[in-house]
Each structure stands twice: as structure tokens, then as C-alpha cells.
Amino acid sequence: MYVASRYDRYWAMAAHLSILLLPFIAPIVILILRANSKFVRHHATQALLFHFVWLILMTISGWLCWILIGFPMLVVFGLMGIWGTIRGILAALNEERYHYPITGNWI
């Protein structure tokens, strides 16, 4: 368990929430601004990796909509993105380590 300040928790939460506005830019900026905090660095790298993998999955699902299998995949991956982001936010606020379900412990 990390010992994080209140501001570190907010930065980590912002990295997860960045999927709504700036999915790739915000975690990189957070990594640069808060490079000295292991807690923020962990959450920002996990969020960045998830945003990248999630974009790939959603793109593949979009292309597969031509053969109708992509529609259920869009729903499943969309719900997974929402659930994973909420879980990441809660983990950041509770000072816990978190790995997204589809990325695991890659970094």
C-alpha cells in the first residue's frame, strides 16, 4: 500500500477520469507533472495502457459491426470501460493499487 497525499489521490483519479476528455494526453501530462510520486505514476501508467488497449478493442469492434458481431462487442467493451474506470477511480481514492482487467500487470 502506498502512502499518498490527498493531492496525489486527486492526480491519480484525474488520470483515470481522463478517458472522458483527453485519453492519451492527460495521463502523459500527469506522468510528467507528478513523476516523483510512485502512487500517481502507477495509476497514470495503468490508465494510459488501458486507454490504448480500449481504443484498439473499440476500433476492432466498430469494424466488426459490418458482420453484426461487433454490436455486442461494442456493448461489452463499453460497459467494461465504464466499470474499469469507476473501479480505478475508487482504488485511487482509497490508496490501492489497481490493474485494469484487460491489461493485467503488463507494466
Residue 1 domain flag = no
Instruction: Answer whether residue 10 is part of any domain.
Output: yes
More confident residue, 103 or 65: 65
Going by pLDDT thresholds of 50, 70 and 90, the confidence category of residue 101 is confident
What pLDDT is recorded for position 4?
77
Does the residue 51 lie in any domain? yes
**Total domain count for the chain?**
1
Q: Could you give the 3-state DSSP secondary structure of residue 96? A: coil
Condensed to tens digits (0 to 9), the pLDDT of residues 57-95 reads 999 999 999 998 999 999 999 999 999 999 999 999 999
Q: Is 1 helix (H, G, I), strand (E, B) or coil?
A: coil
Spatial separation of the C-alpha atoms in residues 58 and 61, rounded to whole Å? 5
How would you class 55 by CB atoms within 10 Å of its CB: exposed for 0-12, middle for 13-18, buried for 19 or more?
Answer: middle
Which amino acid is present at 102?
A: I
For residue 16, give its domain range: 6-93
**Using alpha carbons only, what angle is made at residue 95 by residues 91 and 98, rounded to the nearest 5 degrees?**
40
What are 4-49's pLDDT values in tens digits?
A: 788 999 999 999 999 999 888 999 999 999 989 999 999 999 999 9
**DSSP 8-state class, residue 66:** G
Residue 1 pLDDT exceeds 70 = no
Under DSSP, the state recorded for 107 is -
CA distance to 33, 47, 54, 96, per residue, from 73 (Å): 36, 21, 12, 30
DSSP 101: T
102 within some domain: no
* Residue 103's pLDDT band (cuts 50, 70, 90): confident
